[in-house]
Structures are given as C-alpha cells and as structure tokens.
Amino acid sequence: MFIDRAVIHVKAGDGGNGSASFRRGPGIPKGGPDGGDAGDGGDIIFQVEDGLNTLVDFRGTFHWSAEPGENGRAKQQYGARGGDRVIRVPPGTMLYDNATGGLLADLKPSERVVIAKGGRGGRGNEHFKSSINQSPRTAEMGEAGQAYELRLELKLIAEAGLVGLPNAGKSTLLGAISRTNPKIGAYPFTTLSPQLGIAEIDQTRRVVFADIPGLIEGASKGLGLGHDFLRHIERTKVIVHLVSVMPEDESDPVHNYRVIREELRGYSELLAEKPEIICLNKLDLLADDAARAEAIKKFRAALQLGHDVEVMPLSGATGKGTMELVEKVYAMLHPRGAVAGWTAAAVKAVKAG
C-alpha cells in the first residue's frame, strides 16, 4: 500500500524536576542542600530510511512521544536523560507544522534531523545556596518538551517520471522495464497511486522510474486527483511523456499530448521546462512498420516538432523500444557516465573481436 500523507502529533520529553533535599546522617544534624539536577527530556528525531517508500507506518498511530527526563535525587544524584524517539521515514518526506503550514524539514536520503527538542531538566537546590540563603528549599521545575502537530507529505524521489493520459500505457511500460508488477487493466485510472520501478541496464547503470497516475484535463486546477499526482513529478529530472497512438476513446493523440503539456505548465512553469522524452506508444496496434512510420511522421508534423526533437517509437506490451528508452533516459541523467559506459563496452567488444 502506498500512503503519501499523514498527520501526527509529536511530543518531546519534558525535563525532570530538580531535587530539593538536605544531607542527613550521623554527625550531620543540619546538613546543607544536596538536591541533584534532573535529566533533560528526549528529542523527537526523524531519520531517513532509504529502504522505505511509503508513510503507511503512520496510519492509525497519531501520537509519537519521547521519554521525559528523570527527576533529580538526594545526595547530588542527577536524573538520567530521557530516551530519544527516532521516527523513520522514506527519503523525500516533507515535514510541515500543521498549525502554521510552515515547512520544518525537507528530508533527503540518509538525513537525520531533530524536529522537537526535549525540555531542559531543572536544577537541584544545591545550586541556590548562598551566603544569605544557606538552606534553599526550592529547586527548578523541568521545562516542557516541544510539541507539534505535523503534516507529513511524501514526494517520490525518482529520476524519471512517466506521464500521460489514462490508459497511455505507463503501467505496462513500467512492468516491461523493471521488476514491478503494477496493476494493469483495460479501463482508466487503473493506477491509483504512484509506483516506483528500477530499470537496470547493467550491473552499474540503472534508472529509477515513477509511474505517475493518469492525469486529466483540469488536473492543474485540482480536478480529479490532479495536485496529488502532479506534485510527485516535481523532483523527477526527466519527464517521459507517453502518448497512445490509438486511444481507446478514439481521441486525437496530438490533442492528448497538448492536454498534458498544458496541465504541467498550469501547475508549474519549472515543471513544464523539465527535459522531456516524447514516446508514441502502443505502436504494436498498427499493421506494419510502414503504418508506424507514417503515424510518427503525422504526429511530428501536427506538433511542428523540429529536427532536434525526437519522438521515440514504443510498445510497452511487446517491449519494442523499451531498452532504447531506458538508455536514452540514462544518457540524459548521466551524460558523462553514459559516454564512458559506451566507450568501455566498445573497447571490450573490440578486444574480444
């Protein structure tokens, strides 16, 4: 299950109370103050766990608290510090103060951050003795630990985002290039939550893809689940735009492409300016290579694409063009590594030959 939002209450530990006590013992009928200091309260710490990709652990668990500090004791014995509460979250988790809406942390891989600080422990009465007050009977109370109601939002950290209208073939493609098994059906909105998949080119090269659920016209204005879906594309470095060559609703592929582009632009200009790979998908539905070439030619002409803009032929169902797509995405993400990897492979082939 993919859970990408949660609201929780966190409470750091309160500091313990200082002790107000006096030495007592044989031969010490009127001993001086010996109250020990209290321990500080534990902190609330968020730790990024690289293997996690969902906030499901927070479903049904609202309160998260750290241990309070121990009270001070007689004979100048200090109270122990309260234990921290470490909360593990996936990379890409954003923590907001739910009361103010302010962003407290934007967590990157392997990051660790203190969100709520434990209260300071109170001092014992031995700290308050003086020449004019040799028997202080007061000690400090511990300070309260910080508390927040937090809103957690998870933005997937994927290198490439698959976008397109419902039934453009994103889930099929993700299943073809990775080991994921996304739910696939012959009806719109089969995918109701983002799916991650890792496409491996070889042992040293791989690309993390995110299948972003089907957008609809008006998504940037909040129609459907538009904002929920669009925000997951924000951190991808490359957009892979899938357009079905034969939409099941018999709509125009060119119009469908423009719809998605407008939604991306309507949501964020920065999002619209991300590098894009255009893929004309489901070409296996056409009769032969000549029909496929003609479909790509008409698509390019209708969009008035320049010679420097490539339209990749693709069939997620048969796998045709899928590895070429992964290679192209990798080359865009790692231009130097892609060239170096190709050169190494070429040298190896030459030596083998």
Amino acid at 116: A
Q: Across-strand partners of 150?
A: 8, 97
* Residue for token pair 């003086």: 130
36 plus 147 within the same structural domain: yes
Query: Per-residue confidence at 183, pLDDT binned at 50, 70, 90?
Result: very low
Domain termination residue (choose one: 132, 154, 176): 154
Whether residues 313 and 287 share a domain: the answer is: yes
Grade residue 193 by pLDDT with cuts at 50, 70 and 90.
Answer: low
Whether residue 345 is predicted with pLDDT greater than 50 in this model: the reply is no
Q: Are residues 144 and 174 in the same domain?
A: no
At which of 154, 169, 196 does a domain end?
154
CB neighbourhood size of 350 (10 A): 8
d(C-alpha 259, C-alpha 271), whole Å: 15
Say if residue 188 is in the same domain as residue 297. Answer: yes
Q: Tokens in use for 340?
A: 């170096």
Condensed to tens digits (0 to 9), the pLDDT of residues 327-344 reads: 999 999 888 644 443 334
Among 129, 154, 179, the domain-final residue is 154
pLDDT of residue 343: 38
Write the pLDDT tens digit of every residue in 252-284.
999 999 988 988 888 778 888 899 999 999 999
Verify that 323 and 235 share a domain, yes or no: yes
Q: Compute the average pLDDT of residues 73-101.
A: 92
Residue 315 has pLDDT above 80, yes or no: yes
- In tens, the pLDDT along 100-148 reads 999 999 998 889 999 999 999 999 988 888 877 877 888 999 999 999 9
Q: Does the pLDDT of residue 228 top 70, yes or no?
A: no
Is residue 174 located within the same domain as residue 113? no
Residues 318-331: what's their mean pLDDT?
92
Same domain, 292 and 178: yes
Residue 65 has pLDDT above 90, yes or no: yes
- Return the CATH number at 123: 2.70.210.12
222 three-state secondary structure? coil
Domain count, the chain: 2
178/86 Cα distance (integer angstroms): 33
Q: Is there a single domain that holds both residue 136 and residue 198?
A: no
**Rounded Cα–Cα distance for residues 268 and 276 (Å):** 15
Residue 127 DSSP symbol: G
Whether the predicted pLDDT of 39 surpasses 60: yes
Looking at every residue in the chain, the average pLDDT score rounds to 82
Q: Ranked by mean pLDDT, which of 35-44, 199-208, 266-275 comes out on top?
A: 35-44
| Helix 322-333 and helix 335-352, axial crossing angle in degrees, nearest 10 | 120
By DSSP bridging, strand 85-89 and strand 238-244 are: unpaired
Instruction: Say if residue 65 is in the same domain as residue 85.
Output: yes
pLDDT in tens, 291-314: 999 999 999 999 999 988 999 999
pLDDT at res. 48: 93
pLDDT of residue 311: 94
Q: Which residues of the chain form beta strands (DSSP E)?
A: 5-11, 44-48, 63-65, 85-89, 93-97, 103-106, 112-116, 147-154, 160-163, 195-200, 206-211, 238-244, 276-281, 311-313
Label the pairing between strands 44-48 and 63-65: unpaired
Q: What percent of the chain has pLDDT over 70?
A: 82
Average pLDDT estimate for 82-103? 93
**pLDDT, average across residues 40-66:** 88
Q: What is the CATH number of the domain that holds 184?
A: 3.40.50.300
Highest-confidence segment of 62-66, 175-179, 202-206 = 62-66
The whole domain housing 278 covers 160-352
User: At a CB cut-off of 8 Å and minimum separation 6, what does 12 contact?
Assistant: 41, 42, 43, 44, 65, 66, 85, 116, 117, 118, 119, 145, 146, 147
Answer yes or no: do 110 and 216 share one domain. no
- Give residue 223's identity as a one-letter amino acid code: L
Q: Is residue 137 domain-shared with residue 225, that is, in the same domain?
A: no
Measure the N-to-C terminal CA separation of the chain; round to a whole number of Å.
49
pTM of the model: 0.56
Which of 26-30, 202-206, 233-237, 290-294 tops mean pLDDT?
A: 290-294
